Amino acid sequence: MSLLNLHHQLVFYRAYHFNKKNVRIHMVFVPTILFTSLLMAAYYRFDSFFPQVATPYSYVFNAASIWSYSSLAYYLILDRAALLTAPFLLLAPVGFAYLYEIFPAAQIIKPAASLFVFSWIAQFYGHAVYEGRSPALFDNLIQALVLAPYFVLFEVLFFFGFRKDLERAVDNEAGVRARDFILAKKRNEKAA
C-alpha cells in the first residue's frame, strides 16, 4: 500500500517541490509550522474535557501529544530515520504543555499564531513565485500536512549525503510527474 511506502510518499511530496528556492523556504517554515502547531495544540488538555481523570501530570495528555505521537508512529512505519525526530516529537508536547502552567495562554498563543500564519504565507509565496504550481495540500490535505516535516527531514539527510539511492529514485519519478504537470499546463495555456 502506497500510504505505508516511503518512496511513494516522498515522490508525491517531491513532485510539488522541485525549485531549490521553494525547497529552502519549506526547510525553514515547515518546521516552524510544526513547532507552532504543537505549541498551540498543547493548550487543549484532556483533563479540561474529562475532569474526572485529572492528575497532577494530566497536562501531558493534550492535543499536541496525540498529534505528535501518532505522527512519530507513522514516520517509524515509513522508515527508521524517524528516530531522528523522536526526541522533539516525544518531548515537545510535554514541554509545551508545561509552558501553559507557567505563562498565560495569550502570551503563548498570540505570537505562535502570528508565526504560524506568516509561515503559511511564506510557503504559498514560494509555490506561486518559484514553483509555479499550487501546494500539495490542495491535492491531498492530510498527506501533505503529515508528510511535510518528514520530507524536510529527508531533504536534510539527502543534503548531507545519506540515502543517495533513495534521493535519485525519488527525484527521477517525481521529475517525471513534475514534467508532466508543466507540459499539461502549457497545453492548457495554448488551448485557452
List pLDDT tens digits, range 95-108. Answer: 998 898 899 999 99
Q: How far is Cα 46 from Cα 42, in angstroms, rounded to an integer?
A: 10
Three-class DSSP category at 145: helix
C-alpha cell at 162: 545519506
| Cβ neighbours, 10 Å, residue 141 | 11
Radius of gyration of the chain from Cα atoms? Answer: 19
Q: How far is Cα 157 from Cα 140, in angstroms, rounded to an integer?
A: 25
Residue 46 has pLDDT above 60, yes or no: yes
pLDDT tens digits, 134-152: 888 888 878 778 899 999 9
pLDDT at 180 (0 to 100)? 87
Residue identified by cell 529527508 is: 154
> Whole-model pTM?
0.89
Three-class DSSP category at 16: coil
Q: Phi and psi dihedrals of 44, rounded to 5?
A: -90, 95
Beta pairing partners, 62: 45
Residue 1 has pLDDT above 60, yes or no: no
pLDDT at 185 (0 to 100)? 81
Q: What DSSP character marks residue 101?
A: H
CA-to-CA separations, 138 to 11, 21, 134, 141, 184, in angstroms, rounded:
16, 20, 7, 6, 17
